[in-house]
Chain A
C-alpha cells in the first residue's frame, strides 16, 4: 500500500468510526432527541435529561395534553390525575431537574408557541430567586435547542457524537428493566411525573423508624441562601403571566411545601421582598410553611415533599372536602396578606404530631377450638381476651375507620384496637362472633376466598378445618361488627395438598417470570374482591398477606388495584398518620394465641 493509499484508508476509517458512533447514538437514542424509534423508552430518556427528552416527546405527543404543570422536581408531587379531575383537563407534568426559572420561562414560551395550552400550573418557591439560570453544557442538563432557540445543528451534533456509554447504559438497563421503577427509569411517561409507586407504598409510621431510614433529617444541613435573583425571578413570572393573559391561558401559581428546616436557609427580609413583589404580579397559593412541614415523614429527602402533601394542597386549592386537610394549610396570597404570609419564615414551629397521629395495635387470630395449638385459641382464652379489652377501655375499630382516619382525618375513639382473623374458619362465626357481639367489639376477617364454605381442600376430598360460608358471612357483616376482607383467592395453598408447586403466599414461584407473577397476582386478587363484593355487598379495600409475606412489587400492584390497607404479620404496634396513606401499608399485627394470657395481652397493648 502506498502512503497515499494509506492516507485515504486512514481518512475513510476515521469517517467510518464517526459514522458508526452516530448510527449507534441514533439507534439507542439515550436522550430521546431523535424520536427513540427503536426502543420507545421515554422513561429512560426523561431520566437522562427531562429538559430535552420531555420536549422531544411532547413534540410528537402534545395532542394528548392540553395543560401543563412546570417547575422544579418538587412539582412532581402535584398529581396529574387529581389536576385532571379538579380542572377537567389533560395535564402533563413538565417539571425539570433544578429550580431554574430561566429554563422554565423558555420552556413555557415554547409550549405556548407550539402546543395547545389551556391551563398552566407554575410551581415555584423562594428558591427560584436563589438559582436562576443554569450554566448548562452537559448532555444531561442542557435545554432542548428548540426551547433555547439555539442551533439545531449543534444540538443534534452533540447528541450524535454523545458518549456511547449512554447508549450502552440504555441497552444494559433495558435488559434489567422490570415492573418497578429503577434508577434508570424514574419517570412515568404518560404523566411526565416521577414514578413514585415505590415511595407511595413504603410503610411510614413512627418518627424514630423514619429517622433511621432517612438520617438526613436527623442531621439536617445548614446553609444560608442569599437571593441574588429576586429581580430576575419577578421578571420571569411577570413575563409568564403576561404570556398567559395574551393567550387566555388559565394560570395557577403555587409555592410548594418546604421542609421546615430548609425554609430556614432563607433570609426573611428577602423572602418578604419576594412575596410582596410577586403578589403584585399574581396571586398565588402558598404551601411553603405550616406546622406539618416540621414532620419529616411528609418529605423523602432534604427538599422534596411526598405526593400526600401535594394531594392535600390540591384538595385545599380546589375545595375538595372529602380529603383530610390540616387546619390553616395553604393560604391564597394577595398584596393584602403577602407580608403576613412571608413572616412565617421567621416564625418558630415545633414538631408535635399528637394531633394527627395515633397508635393502633392490631391483634391476629386464626382458628378457635378446644384442642389448642399454634394459631389455635380456645373459646375460653379468646373470651378472656375480649373481656379484658372491653373492661380496660379499648375500643375495637374497623379497618374502614383506620382508612377514614388517614384519608379524611375522622378521629378514632380512645384506645383503639383492631381485631383480625385470618383464613376464615367456621369457628370465627360459631365461637368468636357471639363473644364479639357480647362485648360489642368490631373485628375484621380475612377468608381465603376459594375456601369459603368448604371443609375439604378445594375440589379434593381432603378434610380441612371447616370454613364459614357466605350466608354466615353476610349475617356477621349485617351486624355492623364484622368486616370481611381478602386473604387472597387462592394464593395461600398448602403443600400437603398441592405438592411442591403450591403457591403458599404472594410470592413468585421458583423460576416464575415477573410478568407472569404480576398477572397471577392481579387475577387472584381481582377474583377474591369480585366474589366477596358480589356475595357480601361491601367494598373490599384491604388484604392480609398470606403468611404475612409481601414485597415492593405486591404492594405496588395491590395499591394500584385500589387496596388501601395491607396487613403483614410483623409484630408491633402501628402509628397511623392523618393524610399519609403510607401509614396503612403492611400493617404490623400481634399474633395472639392460647399461650397469651389476658394480662399479657393488656401488657402488650399498653406498650
Chain B
C-alpha cells in the first residue's frame, strides 16, 4: 500500500491504537503482525522471498556468533551474502539478462522462458540491512538475535521496508523490542514529520515529475534550455520524493516511539561533491562506506596497489589512486544497484573522477585562495562552493534520468551547444503539463524547503521554534498545511472536466 493511500492511514491508525493498547512486552509482536500484514497487501506470495532472507540470515547469524573458526565463518558469510545478493540480482536482472541472452540464442532456435517476476517490496533495503547485520556479527560487533520472531521484525519493520533508511541492528532492534508508552510529544513530532514529507512528496515532487517526464521522455523535440529546466525539476523531484518519503517513514516510526536514522541532511547545502554524498541517502552511503569502501581499501590487493602507485607517483597523487579506485567501485556498485545500465557506470565514473580531482587540487586551491585573499571559511567562498556543487550534481543527474547513456550525452550536448534561452518562455512552460498555479506551488514549496533548510543548517530546531508560537499561529499553520495538502495534493487528480466527459457520446 502506498504511503499516500487512504488505506495506509487506516492501517496506521489501527496499528497505533492496538500498539498503545496492548501491554508493553507485546508491542513488538503487534509491530511484527502489522509489518507482515503490510507486506501481504503488497503481494502475499512475495512474503516467501522476505522469509527466505530472514531465515537464512537468522541461522547464519546464530552460527556466526557461535563459531570460532575464522575460515568457516568467512565461508559461511560469503555463502549467505552470495545467496541473498544473488536472489536480489536474480529478481532484479533476470528478465533483463534473459532478454539479452535470447537475442543471442534466437538464431539457434533457443529461447529461455521469461517470468513475470514482481520485485518483492523493499528487497534491496532488507537485503542490505540483513547483510550489514551478518558482517557486523562476523566482525564480532554484537551478539546474534536468538529470537527468530524478533529478528523477523528487524528485517520487515513496516514503515522502513519500502524505501529505507537502511538501519543497523544495534540501533534499531533494541528500539523495536523495547516497550513504548504513549508519548504525546513523539506522536506530535511524528505527525509533523509526516506532514512535512507529504508536503514535499505530493505538492512538489508530484508536480515536478510532470515536467520531467513530458520533456525528458521526449527530449529530442525540446531545446537545450527546456531540457536543462526539466533536469533541474528532476533534481527537485527526486529530492522531494525520496526525502519526503523518508520523512513519512520516519514520522510513522516516531509515532510508534521508534527513532529511525536520518537519511538526508539538506544535500543542497553541500560544499563539495563528497559532502553531497555524505548528505544524500546517508544510510546507503554509510553502508557502502562500512561494508564496501573500508574493506576494499584495507584489502590486500588494494594495499599492494597503493604501494605501487606511491612509487610511481610520489606525492599526493600516488596516495589517492587506491582511494579513488575504491570510490569508483562504490559508485559503480550503487549504480548497478539502481539498474543494469551503462549510464550508471558513467554516473559512477563522473562522481568518482570529480571527487578524486577535488582531492588532488585541494592544496593548490588553498594556495590560490590565500593569494587572492579569500577566506575559505567565509560566506562568499561557501556560496561559490554550494553553487558549484549543485551544478555538478545537476550535470550528474543527466545520467541518472536519461533513458540511456547515449540519451544522457545527447541531452548534455543539447544543453551546452543548443541552449536557445529564448525557448524558455511562459508559453512553452505552460505547455509542459503544469498550470501557472502548479508552478507557483512548486516555487513557493521550494522556497519554504530552502528556508527551513537554511534555518536547520544554522542549528535552529523548527519544532522547538513552532512550539513557542501562540496557539493561533500553530492552529493557522496546521489548517493551512492541511488545506494545501488536501486541495493541491490529494485532490490534484481524479477530476474530469465536462468538456472531456461527453465528448465520445
Contacts and interface: CB of A to CB of B under 8 A. Distances in A.
Interface of A: 1-7, 9-10, 13-14, 16-17, 21, 44, 47-48, 72-73, 97-98, 138-140, 163-166, 169, 173, 183-184, 186, 304
Given A1-B467, A47-B502, A186-B502, A10 B497 contact: no
A173 B467 CA distance: 44
Given A1-B467, A184-B498, A17 B479 contact: yes
17 contacts: A1-B467, A1-B474, A3-B185, A3-B188, A13-B482, A14-B482, A17-B479, A44-B498, A47-B498, A48-B498, A97-B501, A97-B502, A98-B505, A163-B495, A165-B491, A166-B495, A186-B502
Given A14-B482, A17-B483, A7 B188 contact: yes
Given A13-B478, A163-B494, A6 B188 contact: yes
B91 to A, nearest CB: 31
A575 B289 CA distance: 83
Contacts of B493: 163
A163 B495 CA distance: 6
Contacts of B496: 138, 140
In the A-B complex, the 9 residue pairs with the closest CB atoms: A3-B184, A73-B505, A165-B495, A183-B499, A184-B498, A97-B505, A3-B188, A163-B495, A4-B184
Nearest to B479: A13
B187 interface: yes
Nearest to B471: A1
B3 interface: no
A2 to B, nearest CB: 7
A2 B184 contact: yes
A6 B502 CA distance: 47
A605 B494 CA distance: 57
B191 interface: yes
Interface string B184-220: 1101100100000000000000000000000000000
Contacts of B495: 163, 165-166, 169
Contacts of A6: 184, 188, 474
Given A21-B486, A183-B499, A9 B491 contact: no
B471 A169 contact: no
B498 A173 contact: yes
Contacts, number: 74
A35 B499 CA distance: 23
A13 B502 contact: no
Contacts of B184: 2-4, 6-7
Nearest to A14: B482
A432 B487 CA distance: 72
B475 interface: yes
Contacts of A186: 502
A304 B495 CA distance: 26
Interface in B460-493: 467, 471, 474-475, 478-479, 482-483, 486-487, 491, 493
Contacts of B491: 163-165
B359 to A, nearest CB: 47
Contacts of B505: 72-73, 97-98, 304
A140 B504 CA distance: 14
Contacts of A140: 496, 501
B20 to A, nearest CB: 13
**Main DSSP-derived SS at the B contact region:** helix
A183 B479 CA distance: 35
B191 A10 contact: yes
Given A4-B184, A165-B491, A17 B482 contact: yes
Nearest to B473: A1
B483 A3 contact: no
Nearest to A183: B499
A73 B504 CA distance: 9
B478 A48 contact: no
A2 B185 CA distance: 8
Given A17-B482, A164-B491, A9 B471 contact: yes
Given A14-B482, A21-B486, A183 B474 contact: no
A163 B498 CA distance: 14
Contacts of B187: 3, 7
A161 B499 CA distance: 22
Report which residue of A10, A138, A164 has the largest number of chain B beta carbons within 10 angstroms of its beta carbon: A10
B486 A17 contact: yes
Contacts of A138: 494, 496
A164 B487 contact: yes
A224 B163 CA distance: 45
Nearest to A74: B505
A13 B474 CA distance: 11
Contacts of A1: 467, 471, 474
Given A3-B187, A6-B184, 8 more contacts: A3-B184, A7-B188, A48-B501, A97-B502, A97-B504, A140-B496, A169-B497, A304-B505
A16 B479 CA distance: 9
Most chain B CB neighbours (cut-off 10 Å) among A4, A5, A17, A44: A17
Given A4-B184, A21-B486, A97-B505, A9 B498 contact: no
Contacts of B467: 1
Interface in B133-156: none
Contacts of B504: 97
Contacts of B471: 1, 5, 9
A71 to B, nearest CB: 12
Nearest to B478: A13
Nearest to B468: A1
A169 B497 CA distance: 8
Contacts of A48: 498, 501
A166 B467 CA distance: 38
Given A1-B471, A3-B184, A3-B185, A47 B501 contact: yes
A366 to B, nearest CB: 44
A48 B491 CA distance: 17
Contacts of A17: 479, 482-483, 486
A72 B184 CA distance: 57
A104 to B, nearest CB: 14
Contacts of B482: 13-14, 17
Residue of B471, B483, B498 with most chain A CB atoms under a 10 A cut-off: B498
Interface string B18-61: 00000000000000000000000000000000000000000000
B501 A9 contact: no
A3 B502 CA distance: 51
Contacts of B478: 9-10, 13
A166 B487 CA distance: 12
Contacts of B501: 47-48, 97, 140
Contacts of A97: 501-502, 504-505
A140 B496 CA distance: 8
Most buried by B among A7, A97, A165: A165
A404 to B, nearest CB: 35
Contacts of B475: 9, 13
A9 B471 CA distance: 9
Nearest to A76: B505
A173 B501 CA distance: 15
A536 B352 CA distance: 99
A173 B495 CA distance: 15
A164 B498 CA distance: 14
B189 to A, nearest CB: 8
Interface in B386-416: none
B487 A9 contact: no
A128 B502 CA distance: 19
Contacts of A173: 498
Contacts of A10: 188, 191, 478
A166 B474 CA distance: 31
Contacts of B487: 164
A173 B497 CA distance: 11
A312 to B, nearest CB: 22
Nearest to B500: A183
Contacts of A166: 495
Nearest to B185: A3
Contacts of B185: 3
Contacts of A14: 482
